[in-house]
């Protein structure tokens, strides 16, 4: 059996079965999702993290590329109770270390009680505890990854749906999932995907009907250029955001964000709409949250479990954001109408701009 060691913050070392060789370090987090492992493993929001699956068997329906959210695996390493050969072979080919035969109930409990933590992993025929501890020693906190956007964003401006005749969306790619673009294309939008550090001139060249800030990894405070874009365009252009995008919008408009103890990651997070009283189930993957929305945003939805903000609307401007993933890959499709609301904001702004009759 290939040796595998998992060193946790504090110095405790777990031993498991190695399924994909290599060394890695990152923030140790868990997901409660019992399906959608292909989508989770290709979600850019897991960059610089080590993903633990709480569901005991991962891989029971194979690996299909059409389910991928991006073109590569993003977690630095993967932990599970049991991985099938399909998933283990996929991770080996991606160069992502994987360990199973762990009691993931204990791992999840440690994270829940102590918070997301630094972790080091070593897997291989000659791997040792010392190798894993060395990775742990070199591990940085998520807030210290000040340019993490560069690891997950497009390098250049790309256009999707150029022949569509709906709204023009400038999507700032801070680690966008492919299904977000697909959801906008399904509504006849033309989507201009811009790098996470796009300038105001880059956005002006698109002349968008909507400015959209995507999901992504890390501390929202480190996405300074995206924050500046929201500040620059919110007066005249409708703004939308998902996950990290909600946090960036809040930062731009005088709100504050905070690191959560262990975040929300899974496909069964309940969200309450404060106006309708309806509760919907949502897909989530985030470790930061909006702490205070500020004066220009109002909280419209909250998490049933901990009351953290799940939806924000603009008080004076056309703004709509969601902390969860309405594109529902993986997860329930309770909230797909969010994208209808997003594209609808453009028409709302145009209507507002028409002068009243004399």
The CATH number given to whatever domain includes residue 12 is: 3.50.30.20
User: Is 254 flagged in the annotation as binding?
Assistant: no
Enumerate residues 6+ apart whose C-beta is below 8 A from 74: 41, 42, 43, 44, 45, 46, 47, 152, 217
Residues 109 and 213 in one domain: no
Residues 18 and 166 in one domain: no
Q: Rounded mean pLDDT of 315-320?
A: 97
User: Is 49 flagged in the annotation as binding?
Assistant: no
Could you give the number of structural domains in the chain?
2
d(CA 307, CA 320): 19
pLDDT value at position 334? 86
User: How far is the CA of 263 from the CAs of 118, 136, 158, 218, in angstroms?
Assistant: 15, 21, 32, 12
Q: Are 34 and 128 a contacting pair, CB within 8 Å?
A: no
pLDDT value at position 348? 58
Q: Rounded mean pLDDT of 283-300?
A: 97
Token pair of 13, please? 């070392």
- Which of 74, 192, 264, 325 is an active site residue? 325
Q: Are 30 and 52 a contacting pair, CB within 8 Å?
A: yes
pLDDT value at position 357? 42
User: Is 171 flagged in the annotation as binding?
Assistant: no
User: Is 211 flagged in the annotation as binding?
Assistant: no
- Which of 135, 167, 243, 317 is an active site residue? 243
Rounded to the nearest 5 percent, the helix, strand and coil shares of the chain are 30, 35, 40
Mean pLDDT over the full length of the chain: 95
Residues 112 and 215 in one domain: no
Residues 225 and 273 in one domain: yes
Q: Rounded to the nearest 5°, which phi and psi values hold at 69?
A: -90, -15
The string of pLDDT tens digits covering residues 14-52 is: 999 999 999 999 999 999 999 999 999 999 999 999 999
pLDDT value at position 213? 98
358 assigned to some structural domain: no
Last residue of a domain, one of 94, 120, 140: 140
230 assigned to some structural domain: yes
327 catalytically annotated: yes
The string of pLDDT tens digits covering residues 91-104 is: 999 999 999 999 99
Residues 220 and 313 in one domain: yes
Confidence of residue 350 (pLDDT cuts 50, 70, 90): very low
User: Is 153 flagged in the annotation as binding?
Assistant: no
Residues 128 and 157 in one domain: no
Is the pLDDT reported for residue 105 higher than 70? Answer: yes
139 catalytically annotated: no
Residues 252 and 307 in one domain: yes
d(CA 88, CA 83): 6
pLDDT value at position 208? 98
d(CA 68, CA 55): 20
62 assigned to some structural domain: yes
Neighbouring C-alpha atoms within 13 Å toward the C-beta of 241:
31
pLDDT value at position 354? 36
264 catalytically annotated: no
Q: What percent of the chain has pLDDT over 70?
A: 97
CATH number at residue 328: 3.40.50.880
Residues 80 and 197 in one domain: no
Q: Rounded mean pLDDT of 344-355?
A: 58
Residues 120 and 98 in one domain: yes
User: Is 102 flagged in the annotation as binding?
Assistant: no
The string of pLDDT tens digits covering residues 222-281 is: 999 999 999 999 999 999 999 999 999 999 999 999 999 999 999 999 999 999 999 999
- Dihedral sign for Cα 227, 233, 234, 239, please: negative
d(CA 155, CA 75): 20
357 assigned to some structural domain: no
pLDDT value at position 101? 98
Bigger pLDDT: 330 vs 305: 305
The string of pLDDT tens digits covering residues 149-180 is: 999 999 999 999 999 999 999 999 999 999 99
Q: Which residue has the tokens 């991006």?
A: 70
User: How far is the CA of 186 from the CAs of 63, 209, 263, in angstroms?
Assistant: 25, 17, 30
Last residue of a domain, one of 140, 170, 205: 140
Residues 246 and 130 in one domain: no
Alpha helices (H) along 146-261: 149-152, 178-185, 200-206, 224-233, 244-252
Q: What percent of the chain has pLDDT over 90?
A: 93
Residues 220 and 123 in one domain: no
282 assigned to some structural domain: yes
Residues 9 and 106 in one domain: yes
pLDDT value at position 356? 38
d(CA 67, CA 178): 10
Is the pLDDT reported for residue 308 higher than 90? Answer: yes
Range of the domain at 92: 3-140
Read off the DSSP letter of residue 95: T
Last residue of a domain, one of 100, 123, 140: 140
Is the pLDDT reported for residue 355 higher than 50? Answer: no
Is the pLDDT reported for residue 358 higher than 60? Answer: no
What string of DSSP letters covers 145-165?
A: -TTTHHHHS-SS-EEE-TT--
Task: Give the relative orientation of helices 224-233 and 244-252 as an angle to the nearest 10 degrees.
Answer: 60
């Amino acid at each position: 059996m290939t040796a595998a060691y998992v060193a946790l913050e504090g110095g405790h070392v777990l031993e498991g079965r190695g399924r994909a060789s290599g060394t890695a370090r990152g923030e140790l987090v868990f997901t409660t999702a019992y399906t959608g492992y292909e989508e989770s493993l290709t979600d850019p929001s897991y960059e610089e993290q080590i993903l633990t699956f709480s569901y005991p068997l991962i891989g029971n329906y194979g690996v299909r590329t059409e389910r991928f959210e991006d073109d590569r695996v993003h977690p630095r390493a993967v932990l599970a109770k049991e991985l099938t050969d399909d998933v283990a072979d996929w991770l080996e080919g991606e160069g992502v270390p994987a360990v199973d035969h762990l009691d993931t109930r204990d791992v999840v409990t440690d994270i829940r009680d102590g918070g997301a933590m630094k972790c080091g992993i070593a897997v291989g025929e000659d791997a040792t505890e010392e190798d894993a501890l060395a990775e742990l020693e070199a591990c940085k906190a998520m807030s210290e990854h000040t340019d993490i956007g560069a690891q997950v964003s497009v390098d250049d401006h790309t256009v999707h749906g150029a022949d569509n005749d709906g709204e023009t969306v400038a999507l700032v790619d801070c680690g966008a999932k492919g299904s977000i673009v697909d959801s906008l294309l399904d509504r006849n939008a033309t989507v201009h995907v811009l790098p996470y550090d796009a300038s105001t001139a880059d956005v002006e060249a698109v002349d968008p009907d909507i400015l959209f800030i995507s999901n992504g990894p890390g501390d929202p405070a480190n996405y300074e250029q995206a924050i500046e874009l929201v500040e620059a365009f919110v007066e005249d252009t409708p703004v939308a955001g998902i996950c990290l995008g909600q946090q960036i919008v809040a930062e731009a408009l005088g709100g504050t964000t905070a690191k959560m103890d262990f975040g929300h990651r899974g496909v069964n997070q309940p969200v309450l709409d404060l106006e309708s009283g309806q509760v919907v189930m949502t897909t989530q993957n985030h470790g930061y949250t909006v702490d205070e929305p500020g004066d220009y945003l109002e909280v419209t939805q909250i998490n049933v479990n901990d009351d953290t903000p799940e939806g924000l609307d603009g008080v004076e401007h056309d703004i709509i954001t969601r902390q969860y993933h309405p594109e529902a890959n993986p997860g329930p499709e309770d909230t797909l109408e969010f994208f209808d609301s997003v594209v609808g904001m453009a028409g709302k702004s145009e209507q507002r701009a028409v002068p009243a009759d004399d």
